[in-house]
Amino acid sequence: MTRVRSIAAGRPPSGSPTSSGWPVVAARHAGGDDPAPCRTPVTHDFAVVAFHTGGRSRVELKGEWSLREGDVLLVPAGAPHRALERRRPRFWGLAFCVPCFAAHGVAPLLEPFERVRDGASPVIRIPAERQTHLEGLFAELERIGDEPRTPSDTRDAVQRSLLTLILAEVDRASRPGAGPRGAGGGVVADALRFIERNCLGRLTLSDVAAAVGRSPTYVTSALTRSTGQSAVQWIVTGRMAEARRLLLHSDERIDIIAERVGYADVTHFIRMFRRENGATPAAWRAGQLRGSGDRRAARAPEPHDHAGDVGSRDV
């Protein structure tokens, strides 16, 4: 089974958008020579953009790819990948919650990730005249993320705006050589795509299975085998990430947040949130705002192994 870890071709940012409450996390990384950094493919439950500003890397993601200064690596959520070689790489790593972002009407900017899922190259060359601008967007996103936490719709909007600008640069650079999509990523890619676009509404495993034309058992097995998480857990992961974002960046009531992330019953939402986060929504919010959840100390996702009853877990 593929282990669920973070991040593509390098170390993860401090925390992740599915554990920290931030919809997007950015950080700069630098490494030395490592001829064999990852022996086993890994996946994570957020999408990644890695912008290389120096050195060289070689990665495996539906094939082997070389990266150098000016290249961007795209890793869709749930895509197994591993670093094969690093030669003093320097890069910006950006991780973001796809359902949190897609919910704001900018799904077209996710098209390059969908092409990767369907078999296209995950490496995009940024034109030389745009590289300094793109690096500046990453740096500003990191700077804002390092500021002390307060409930702030403004900061949330700025982070999403910077992410939008970064994805727009990537999308623009990908278009000249994009070509048609590949043959498709199969059931796993189709199921993840459907979940990412619909998990904040009333969504069940049966809905996902119907959307991809397979049985619930088949979808659960395929997703668990490929990504380490079932369809149900992918739904829950997306909902919890958006719930944490709303708890951190707004003062909305718990029952309103529950509705916004697909739960009609606030009691069920509170139970699910406590199961996934170890605290009730109100307690989690209070702890984050007291400073216990500072971004630089946020925990990266732990490895998951849902081989047992994952298909029957609550949504």
- Give 242-272 pLDDT, tens digit per residue: 999 999 888 899 999 999 999 999 999 999 9
Report the alpha-carbon distance of residue 244 to residue 1 in Å, rounded. 28
Radius of gyration of the chain (CA): 19
Burial 112-151 (b: 16+ CB within 10 A, else e): bbbbbbbebbbbbebeeeebeebeebbebbbebbeeebee
CB atoms within 10 A of CB 202: 11
Q: Does residue 293 contact residue 20 with C-beta atoms inside 8 Å?
A: yes
DSSP 81: B
- Give 282-304 pLDDT, tens digit per residue: 999 999 877 644 443 343 333 22
Residue that the structure tokens 């086993």 belong to = 40
- Give 29-88 pLDDT, tens digit per residue: 988 888 777 788 999 999 999 999 999 999 999 999 999 999 999 999 999 999 999 999
- List of domains in the chain: 3-174 (2.60.120.280), 186-312 (1.10.10.60)
pLDDT at 203 > cutoff 50: yes
Question: What are the structure tokens assigned to 313, written together?
Answer: 């877990």
